[in-house]
A and B are shown apart, each in its own frame.
Chain A
Amino acid sequence: GAVVSQHPSWVICKSGTSVKIECRSLDFQATTMFWYRQFPKQSLMLMATSNEGSKATYEQGVEKDKFLINHASLTLSTLTVTSAHPEDSSFYICSSPGPTNEKLFFGSGTQLSVL
């Protein structure tokens, strides 16, 4: 199956700093990448959809200036949490529909803790 590699797995940062999370498709071209946020014991909330070479589409209530998404190549999508605050602490996970565009392949997720 398709592999999506996500880094870092864990990050702890100070309030006010920015954090970049990378997701790479290792054996296929990821035209589309979905970014989700998951709080403990809760569901995955879709934050935005990124498409290679175009602007990301953000879900209602997600601040596009705070969560910067870049999808500059077919194998790399990044999410940057700018000026992070403690309330941004969460599990962030990316996923792509894979080469057949039928099911989602997930990265391993990034646990962000903002102090």
Chain B
Amino acid sequence: GQQVMQIPQYQHVQEGEDFTTYCNSSTTLSNIQWYKQRPGGHPVFLIQLVKSGEVKKQKRLTFQFGEAKKNSSLHITATQTTDVGTYFCADLTGNQFYFGTGTSLTVIP
């Protein structure tokens, strides 16, 4: 299957600090989706990016798709304790969803 790498694997931030996770693929992605998985929970869809260079915002979350459609990023401004969880990017290729390696975010109050 596909391998989509994410960095960092883990991130600890103080509440109020910003956080960014990066998703990188060796191949061009048709589109990319982002999911959040709370500890002990199941992944929940956040957003989908389709166009080259696309930027979407959801309140404190900013999602970006690279110009070459090989990378993507999720940036959280002023993290809160509710942001704790693992963030995954996912690649939809040929009707199959492959998940990135994930970034686990811990927010220290």
Contact = CB atoms under 8 A, between A and B. Distances in A.
27 contacts: A32-B95, A34-B97, A36-B99, A41-B104, A42-B101, A42-B102, A43-B88, A43-B101, A43-B102, A44-B43, A44-B88, A46-B96, A46-B97, A46-B99, A49-B95, A49-B96, A60-B1, A93-B42, A97-B97, A103-B33, A103-B45, A103-B48, A104-B35, A104-B90, A104-B97, A105-B45, A106-B43
Among B35, B97, B104, the most chain A Cβ lie within 10 Å of the Cβ of: B97
A104 B45 contact: yes
Interface residues of A, number: 23
Contacts of A95: 43, 97
Interface string B90-106: 10000111111110100
Secondary structure of the B side of the interface? Answer: strand
A102 B92 CA distance: 9
A106 B42 contact: yes
Interface in A82-104: 93, 95, 97, 102-104
A45 to B, nearest CB: 8
Interface of A: 32, 34, 36, 41-46, 49, 59-60, 93, 95, 97, 102-109
